[in-house]
Amino acid sequence: MSELARFPENFVFGGATAAYQVEGATKEDGRGPCVWDEHMARPESRFDGDPASDFYHRYPEDIKLAHDFGVNGIRISLSWTRILPEGKGKINQKGIDYYRKLIAECQAQNVEPLVTLHHFDTPLPFFHDGHWLNRNLIEEFVEYARICFEAFGQQVKQWATFNEPWSIAQNGYIAGNFPPCEHFEIAKAIQIEHNLMVAHARAVNLYKSMGLPGKIGIVHTLEGKVPFTDSPADRHAAQLDDAISNRFMLDACFLGRYSDETMDLIDEILEKNWGVLATDPQDFRDFREAAAQIDFLGMNYYSSHFLQAYDGESKVFNNSTGEKGTSVFALRGIGARVTNPEVPTTDWDWPIYPEGMYRQLKRIAHDYPNYKELYITENGMGYKDELKNGEIDDTPRIAYVREHLEAVLRAIDEGVNVRGYYIWSLQDMLSWSNGYNKRYGLFYVDYETQKRWPKKSAYWYKRLSETHVLQPVPGTEADAGEKEEASACEAAYQSA
């Protein structure tokens, strides 16, 4: 348990969203198609992006809810093809106007937006043209970034270039559950990571050259990699998985180069997968310049993996329905992610391991001491919430969030500069490869009526944000004394 009992004064208690997952309105007001529109339109798809949580029309209601529940920060992302319907060329003024209004509404309600330029939704023509394997996309992205910086640069105080380059690479080219649904193309995944980091660096350098008033960073998913046993072979597997998932891109971000140790691990993976990495000397000049200027790191953390040495062929099964115990993940030249019987998992087989979050925070501070600020830009628990008589009891989610926030407090107490926490997610929304029954929100969305309902976790989060002190999990012993006050607050909101 942490020595530090309170979160710092200006700590952000935020909620996260992403354009494609909440907005809906995929064909409205001149928006062009992105890769996910085509992916969702496949005959085998079980769900699609319309109307999602209808945030495109209902954002005033959602921002008001956020405000009323003490949420003082929001992650939003810009849909590239609302702004540039074809990915490049003609600007769609309606897209610009929409985001200007959205950002202004957030700020009017004191829910400060952290704006991500790219959250998985690459314009469709660029996807067909080789996606992030095609280096032309780097320059297209930087041009899109320039348009956004010019349009919103005086309004936005915090920008993130990308959300989770690793997920784009891993899910699209190794696990096959994101477009283009390729499997075990490990060398392509590494190339994409590199290309995305070049695009990130160039966008950071551009932003810094424009003299705008805000800050800029990136959001990485930093999964913990824990050796299953203490054997050298398992430890090596954990190092390999860490190198491809985390370290390779953190090096680019903060060292401005790949360290020799990192490259040894990446080369070992490439060799076992018959691949090579193509780079250009200019990439490293861009990395260095950006590493000296990056303002913050956003860390998404849900889970850690337990690694066992593995010699066989790659095999993956994605549990996308919440049928517990069905996941398989083993990669040639890296290792196998195995179940640790001592660690609980969600219905989607994600190990619940807050210690991994603490270790990743410490690791950033230790390995990359030039980081300036850290934010937890996503953390939360997928759960099959049920609406019963107007109430949603998501106590397991509260327990999950509480444990992870304890890990954050511990890291802050030990000197790590964590400035905020954005729960994934603000309201229920589309889950990319799982659909609508995997819910994460503080606010339940009834997808039939689009009515919002605050979950038990929303009331818990409100008290946390008001007091800056971790509240007990409802129903636990520690909770006994708090109960009356909490239910009074709940009754007040329900009747409002």
Say whether 485 is catalytic.
no
Least distance to ligand BGP from the beta carbon of 470, Å? Answer: 23
**Residue 424 in the binding site for ligand BGP (CB under 6 A):** yes
Contact 103, 44 (CB under 8 A): no
Least distance to ligand BGP from the beta carbon of 34, Å? Answer: 14
Least distance to ligand BGP from the beta carbon of 75, Å? Answer: 9
Among 158, 221, 314, 319, which residue interacts with ligand BGP (rule: CB under 6 A)?
221
Among 140, 378, 385, 394, which residue interacts with ligand BGP (rule: CB under 6 A)?
378
Burial class (CB in 10 A: 0-12, 13-18, 19+), 493: middle
> Structure tokens of 364?
């950033």
Of residues 260 through 299, those in contact with ligand BGP by CB under 6 A are none
**Closer CB to ligand BGP, residue 21 or residue 262?**
21
> Structure tokens of 366?
């230790």
CA dist 344 and 358 (Å) reads 17
Contact 31, 85 (CB under 8 A): yes
Q: Which helix (H) or strand (E) holds 219?
A: strand 215-221
CA dist 265 and 247 (Å) reads 10
Respond yes or no on whether the N-terminal peptide bond of residue 425 is cis (omega within 30° of 0): yes
Among 184, 432, 443, 459, which residue interacts with ligand BGP (rule: CB under 6 A)?
432
CA dist 396 and 376 (Å) reads 20
**Residue 245 in the binding site for ligand BGP (CB under 6 A):** no
Least distance to ligand BGP from the beta carbon of 425, Å? Answer: 7
**Closer CB to ligand BGP, residue 36 or residue 207?**
36
Among the listed ranges 60-68, 161-169, 246-254, 287-295, the one in contact with ligand BGP (CB under 6 A) is: 161-169
Report CA 285 to chain centroid distance, whole Å.
27
**Sign of the C-alpha dihedral, residues 225, 228, 230, 234?**
negative
> Structure tokens of 348?
């989607």
**Residue 434 in the binding site for ligand BGP (CB under 6 A):** yes
> Structure tokens of 53?
């949580």
Least distance to ligand BGP from the beta carbon of 195, Å? Answer: 19
**Residue 301 in the binding site for ligand BGP (CB under 6 A):** no
Of residues 54 through 93, those in contact with ligand BGP by CB under 6 A are none
**Residue 382 in the binding site for ligand BGP (CB under 6 A):** yes
Give the max Cα distance, the chain.
63
CA dist 349 and 326 (Å) reads 8
Which residue type does 324 have? K
Which of 12, 15, 107 is CA-nearest to residue 60? 107
Report the first-to-last Cα separation within the chain, whole angstroms: 37
**Residue 392 in the binding site for ligand BGP (CB under 6 A):** no
Among 26, 109, 167, 246, which residue interacts with ligand BGP (rule: CB under 6 A)?
167
Among the listed ranges 143-151, 365-373, 414-422, 427-435, the one in contact with ligand BGP (CB under 6 A) is: 427-435
Among 140, 164, 251, 349, which residue interacts with ligand BGP (rule: CB under 6 A)?
164
Among 7, 13, 18, 80, which residue interacts with ligand BGP (rule: CB under 6 A)?
18
**Closer CB to ligand BGP, residue 80 or residue 424?**
424
Among 379, 431, 457, 471, which residue interacts with ligand BGP (rule: CB under 6 A)?
431
Say whether 378 is catalytic.
yes
Among the listed ranges 144-152, 162-170, 223-231, 243-251, the one in contact with ligand BGP (CB under 6 A) is: 162-170
Q: Residues touching ligand BGP: how many (CB under 6 A)?
A: 15
**Residue 163 in the binding site for ligand BGP (CB under 6 A):** yes
What letters, b where the CB count within 10 A reaches 16 and e where it falls short, cover 239-251?
bbbbbbbbbbbbb
Burial class (CB in 10 A: 0-12, 13-18, 19+), 193: buried
**Residue 474 in the binding site for ligand BGP (CB under 6 A):** no
Catalytic residue of the set 23, 140, 223, 378? 378
Residues in the chain: 496
- DSSP 3-state assignment of 450? coil
**Residue 53 in the binding site for ligand BGP (CB under 6 A):** no
**Closer CB to ligand BGP, residue 228 or residue 400?**
400
The radius of gyration of the chain's CA atoms, rounded to the nearest angstrom, is 21
**Residue 26 in the binding site for ligand BGP (CB under 6 A):** no
Catalytic residue of the set 23, 140, 164, 185? 164
183 Cβ partners below 8 Å, 6+ apart? 174, 175, 176, 314, 316
- DSSP 3-state assignment of 75? strand
CA atoms within 13 A on the CB side of 243: 24
Report which DSSP code applies to 481.
G
CA angle 174, 78, 158 (to 5 degrees): 100
**Closer CB to ligand BGP, residue 254 or residue 432?**
432
**Closer CB to ligand BGP, residue 92 or residue 163?**
163
**Closer CB to ligand BGP, residue 237 or residue 429?**
429
**Residue 438 in the binding site for ligand BGP (CB under 6 A):** yes
Q: Under the rule (CB under 6 A), what is the footprint of ligand BGP?
A: 18, 21, 163-164, 167, 221, 300, 378, 382, 424, 431-434, 438
Q: Catalytic positions, please?
A: 164, 378
